[in-house]
Amino acid sequence: MKKHNYSAGPCILPQEVFEKSAQAILDFNQMGLSLLEISHRSDEFVAVIEEARTLVLELLGLQGKGYQALFLHGGASLEFLMVPYNLMKVNGKAGYLETGTWASGAIKEAKLFGETLILGSSKEANFNHIPKGYEIPKSLDYFHCTSNNTIYGTQMKAFPEVDTVRVCDMSSDIFSRTLDFSKFDLIYAGAQKNMGPAGATLVVVKEEILGKTGRTIPSMLDYQLHIAKESMYNTPPVFSIYASLLNLQWLKKQGGIAGIEKINNAKAELLYAEIDRNPLFKGTAVKEDRSYMNATFVLENEAHTPIFDQIWEQAGISGLKGHRSVGGYRASLYNALPLESVQVLVDTMKALENKV
């Protein structure tokens, strides 16, 4: 039976990425060696990481604009620490938008380095919306936001104008929709949400914002050092970077971000239309802030849970359960999920309506 993978991360990837990755593990580039055993400094892998870094900037429209793309370790969670280390001045100040669990984690780390202002928060409403109407002081070293919130199913549809450095955690919706990425000075994302397998972290940074904090930064946490070493300061996550490259190549063949955005919009609109139509279900995020990557919803009557769970599991759907901290259901609609899979989910929701 075909599986329909709604996992929030590690997430679905294109079938051709799995096939090419599997072949590379057996024999990479007809070298007679596995990708897993070659030197990360070999010509063959250097070509991989250079193409991946170039393709990132190409897809984001940032080539020739003073940006560097880095593949690092530690996931987005380490970037919670690296961002203030590299951007918050001694005795400095940063502003954060608190829109979910991961934003709260970033705020916690920033507080270790200096004054950290929460400019807007939706915590009291269980993060069911994106805060609006907040003010951004001009004295900040940087402004930080999270573009998409996987747990609560919200997404920023617009970004505030700022007079300082703008940082965005785009872990769960990077490469999924068109934006003017040049309006961001630093973007970071864990690969496992919409780009590749777990293990690599993407950082896209404008070089001119670095080196101004007055801090002594440990080597492994210093963006400038990683730029100078071309993401090779220490052994990079070879397999994750290679699979990410394959995924970026696949994305380019889909028409790039603009091409995949049309498909993503169709998927989200199909699912949300059923959530709103079907009296047995209710979306958990405010409609204007609904995520097009992670749709969260609940049953109006929890007594229907075992019946619905049986229906979708028998339909070959996987990974639909909501995050353990909030319950309900979460359909992650990442780039590689086909529209066909969304239709299968919609059909199971209609089947429940007919059954009860």
Are both 267 and 345 inside the same structural domain? Answer: yes
Question: Does residue 138 have an active-site annotation?
Answer: no
- Would residue 7 count as lying in a domain? no
Same domain for 89 and 42, yes or no, is yes
Residues 143 and 168: beta-carbon distance below 8 Å: no
CA-to-CA distance for 344 and 13, rounded, in angstroms?
18
Residue 135 predicted with pLDDT over 90? yes
Q: Into how many domains does the chain fold?
A: 2
Q: Which CATH number covers residue 66?
A: 3.40.640.10
* 315 inside domain: yes
User: Do residue 184 and residue 118 come from a single domain?
Assistant: yes
Strand partners, 120: 97
Residue 338 lies in a domain: yes
Confirm whether 5 is domain-assigned.
Answer: no
Cβ neighbours around 321 below 10 Å, total: 15
Per the CB < 8 A criterion, the answer to whether 246 and 20 are in contact is yes
Average pLDDT, the chain: 97
User: What pLDDT, on the 0 to 100 scale, is given for residue 326?
Assistant: 86
CA 275 from chain centre, in angstroms, equals: 24
In this structure, are residues 230 and 182 in contact, taking their beta carbons and an 8 Å threshold? no
In this model, does residue 280 exceed pLDDT 90? Answer: yes
The mean per-residue pLDDT over the stretch 235-257 comes to 98
Strands 4-5 and 317-318, sheet pairing: parallel
Q: What is residue 89's predicted lDDT score, i.e. its pLDDT?
A: 97
In this prediction, residue 66 has a pLDDT band, given cuts at 50, 70 and 90, of very high
Find all residues with CB under 8 Å of 119, minimum gap 6, and list them: 95, 96, 97, 131, 134, 135, 136, 143
| Identity at 6, one-letter amino acid code | Y
pLDDT for 45? 98
Residue at a domain's end among 218, 253, 288? 253
Q: Is the pLDDT of residue 1 over 90?
A: no
Alpha helices per DSSP H over the chain: 15-26, 43-60, 75-87, 101-110, 223-228, 238-253, 256-277, 305-314, 339-355
- Which among 253, 270, 292 is the end of a domain? 253
Q: Which two tokens stand for residue 307?
A: 């019946």
- pLDDT, tens digit (0-9, with 9 covering 90-100), for 36-54: 999 999 999 999 999 999 9
* CA-based nearest residue to 329, from 284, 303, 298: 298
Residues spanned by the domain of 174: 15-253
Distance CA 318, CA 309 (A): 10
Residue 263 sits in the same domain as residue 223: no
Pair of tokens at residue 164:
């300082």
Please pick, among 141, 185, 193, 250, the residue that the annotation labels catalytic: 193
Whether residues 32 and 149 share a domain: the answer is: yes
Residue 1 falls inside a structural domain: no
Residues 215 and 126 occupy one common structural domain: yes
pLDDT at 324 over 90: no
Q: Token pair of 277, please?
A: 């139509």
193 in catalytic set: yes
**What is the reported pLDDT for 183?**
98
Determine, yes or no, domain membership for 3.
no
Is there a single domain that holds both residue 175 and residue 285? no
The rounded radius of gyration (Å) of the Cα atoms in the chain is 21
Measured CA distances, 86 to 90, 217, 316 (Å): 11, 7, 45
195 shares a domain with 180: yes
- Specify if 2 maps to a domain: no
The DSSP 8-state label assigned to residue 135 in this structure reads -
Catalytic-role residue among 169, 173, 185, 289: 169
**Cβ atoms within 10 Å, residue 151:** 19
Query: In the predicted model, what is the mean pLDDT of residues 181-202?
Result: 97
Q: What is the reported pLDDT for 353?
A: 97
Mean pLDDT over 129-144 rounds to 96
Residue 72: its pLDDT value, please?
98
Determine the 3-state secondary structure of 39 from DSSP.
Answer: coil
Range 194-217 average pLDDT: 97
Helices then strands, each counted (H, E), the chain: 9, 14
* Cβ neighbours of residue 227 closer than 8 Å, sequence gap 6 or more: 68, 70, 205, 207, 210
Domain boundary among 205, 223, 253: 253
Neighbouring CB atoms inside 10 A of 216's CB total 8
| pLDDT value, residue 236 | 97
Q: Determine the 3-state secondary structure of 182 from DSSP.
A: helix
Whether residues 249 and 292 share a domain: the answer is no
- Give 354's pLDDT tier (boundaries 50, 70, 90): very high
Distance of CA 192 to the CA centre of its chain: 8
- Our answer to whether residue 282 is catalytic in this structure is no
Which entry of 102, 206, 267, 312 is annotated as an active-site residue?
102
* Mean pLDDT computed over 326-352: 97
Q: Indicate if the pLDDT at residue 190 is higher than 90.
A: yes
146 is a domain residue: yes
**What is the mean pLDDT of the segment spanning 187-203?**
96
**Claim to verify: residue 276 and residue 249 sit in the same structural domain:** no
Contact between residue 107 and residue 77 where contact means Cβ atoms under 8 Å apart: no
E-strand spans in 60-185?
A: 67-72, 93-98, 115-121, 142-146, 148-149, 154-155, 165-169
Residue 325 has a pLDDT of 81
Domain check: are 138 and 273 in the same one? no
For residue 34, pLDDT beyond 90? yes
Distance CA 264, CA 293 (A): 8
Q: Please tell me the predicted confidence (pLDDT) of residue 140.
A: 98
Q: Are residues 229 and 293 in the same domain?
A: no
Q: Supply the pTM of this predicted model.
A: 0.97
**Tokens representing residue 211 in the block:** 């080196």
Least-confidence region, from 81-85, 200-204, 226-230, 326-330: 326-330
C-alpha dihedral sign at 92, 166, 172, 348: positive
